[in-house]
A and B are shown apart, each in its own frame.
Chain A
Amino acid sequence: MSETKKPAGYYLRERFMPHLWCAGCGHGTVLNGLVRSVDELGLKKREIVMVSGIGCSARMAGYLDFHTLHTLHGRALAFATGVKLSRPELKIICPLGDGDALAIGGNHFIHAARRNIDITVLILNNRIYGMTGGQYSPLSGCGIDATTAPYSSIDEAFDAVRLATASGATFVARTTTFHVHQMQQILTQAIQHKGFSVVEVLSQCPTHFGRKNGGLEAVDMLKGYQQNTAPVGSKKLENSPDLIPVGVFVDEERAEYCDRYQGVIDRAQGGAAARTAPVGQGGAAAQGGAP
């Protein structure tokens, strides 16, 4: 871990601040937590690639001074897979919205999870398409009012945690923008985890979700996260199963995709022995030349 704490501004492209997110938007709190995790891990800015899609969440890539790619709606994981396979030593972080990750990008999401490629996905779940004016998303759930559901939504929501788990992600967690200390811990774990990591962060959208659903302000929505959640495996959750579980659900090891792909390269090139031979020769030559 890094010995000195750097100010948040070190990791930001301050020339683009203040950010475009609305007053009270939870996405800024996720940005805040992510910067702290990166600082805690002592990662260099050039070691991280942030790949985002389209939407409010995707704008995060613009504010961080890492390598950043702002790509197509739902396709961030396709681009991220390409980056990771060509430069496996880099850390890849994808901030996706609920629609970006599980509607438009739903197929990319389940297949990236199935492959267990070493990418960290943040699903910034505000249960609405904010940027385009408040349409309901596959994470809105029943009874939610949206621009496209003026008489309230009749669609059931995905459970992002269960979907990621069933698809094969090897690190799956959920937190909220209220649980800021937990958020940093979970983000740190997720970035460190080798394999496909999914962190669903419940993030408030006061402008579109809040206004259409009881006139909730950012503070009300944060209090809602405080009251309506319980740690996974806790007595509180056992007694009130309707609460939303937060915490780490899956943390396991399984062969990672880039490692498996290296195996394909080795086999195609005639086995590991043939591949390592030139390295050995190079080492001998270097030793010979040293004196």
Chain B
Amino acid sequence: MGTKVSKSKNLIDSILINREWCKRCGICVAFCPKDVFEEDEEGTVSVPRPEDCIYCELCERLCPDLAITLVPKSQPETQTAGDAS
């Protein structure tokens, strides 16, 4: 509500990263078309801009570690939440 509501807004409830599985290869950071991810000097990935996500699934599908789970807004129950850390 308010400033800059992009068309893509509200598609995603959250982007979960399983930090025990992630090997910090940087593929999600490099290929996200909306620059949703960020990595620090050690390669640890964070999701500072989840609201920009357009739910293209590229990160989830490219991730070699199967460490990313996109939770869409409409999903009634978030069973995958257990994977998150």
* Residues of A bordering B, CB below 8 Å: 7-9, 12, 17-19, 21-29, 31-33, 35-36, 177-178, 180-181, 184, 206, 217-219, 222
Are A17 and B61 in contact (CB-based, < 8 A)? no
A25: nearest chain-B partner, CB-CB:
B64
Are A219 and B83 in contact (CB-based, < 8 A)? no
Contact for A180 among B22, B24, B30, B61, CB less than 8 A: B61
Whole-angstrom CA separation of A180 from B65 in the bound complex: 14
Are A9 and B26 in contact (CB-based, < 8 A)? no
Contact for A28 among B24, B30, B31, B66, CB less than 8 A: B66
| Count of interface residues, chain B, beta-carbon cutoff 8 Å | 23
A residues less than 8 Å from B79 (CB atoms): 7
**A285 → B minimal CB distance (Å):** 48
Contact for A8 among B20, B64, B66, CB less than 8 A: B66
Are A180 and B62 in contact (CB-based, < 8 A)? yes
Contact for A7 among B26, B63, B80, CB less than 8 A: B80
Are B24 and A18 in contact (CB-based, < 8 A)? no
Whole-angstrom CA separation of A18 from B65 in the bound complex: 7
Q: A26-B64, A28-B64 are in contact. Are A7 and B25 (CB under 8 A)?
A: no
Which of B20, B31, B58, B64 is the most central at the interface, judged by chain A CB atoms within 10 Å of its CB? Answer: B64
Contact for B25 among A9, A19, A36, A218, CB less than 8 A: A218
**B42 → A minimal CB distance (Å):** 12
Are A222 and B31 in contact (CB-based, < 8 A)? yes
**B59 → A minimal CB distance (Å):** 10
A residues less than 8 Å from B58 (CB atoms): 180
Answer yes or no: B49 CB below 8 A from chain A CBs.
no
Are B27 and A222 in contact (CB-based, < 8 A)? yes
Answer yes or no: B23 CB below 8 A from chain A CBs.
yes
Contact for A184 among B31, B61, B66, CB less than 8 A: B61
Whole-angstrom CA separation of A33 from B61 in the bound complex: 7
**B62 → A minimal CB distance (Å):** 6
Are A12 and B66 in contact (CB-based, < 8 A)? yes
Supply 17 A–B pairs (Cβ within 8 Å), ascending by A: A21-B64, A22-B23, A23-B64, A24-B26, A28-B65, A29-B62, A32-B60, A32-B61, A32-B66, A33-B61, A35-B66, A177-B62, A178-B62, A184-B61, A206-B25, A219-B27, A222-B31
Near A by CB (< 8 A), chain B positions 1-39 give: 20-27, 30-31
Whole-angstrom CA separation of A178 from B62 in the bound complex: 7
Whole-angstrom CA separation of A33 from B60 in the bound complex: 10
Q: A9-B83, A32-B66, A219-B30 are in contact. Are A23 and B61 (CB under 8 A)?
A: no
**B22 → A minimal CB distance (Å):** 8
Contact for A24 among B21, B64, B80, CB less than 8 A: B64
**A74 → B minimal CB distance (Å):** 25
Are A24 and B66 in contact (CB-based, < 8 A)? no
Q: A7-B79, A7-B83 are in contact. Are A218 and B66 (CB under 8 A)?
A: no
Whole-angstrom CA separation of A169 from B2 in the bound complex: 58
A residues less than 8 Å from B31 (CB atoms): 219, 222
Whole-angstrom CA separation of A206 from B30 in the bound complex: 15
Are A23 and B80 in contact (CB-based, < 8 A)? no
Are B61 and A18 in contact (CB-based, < 8 A)? no
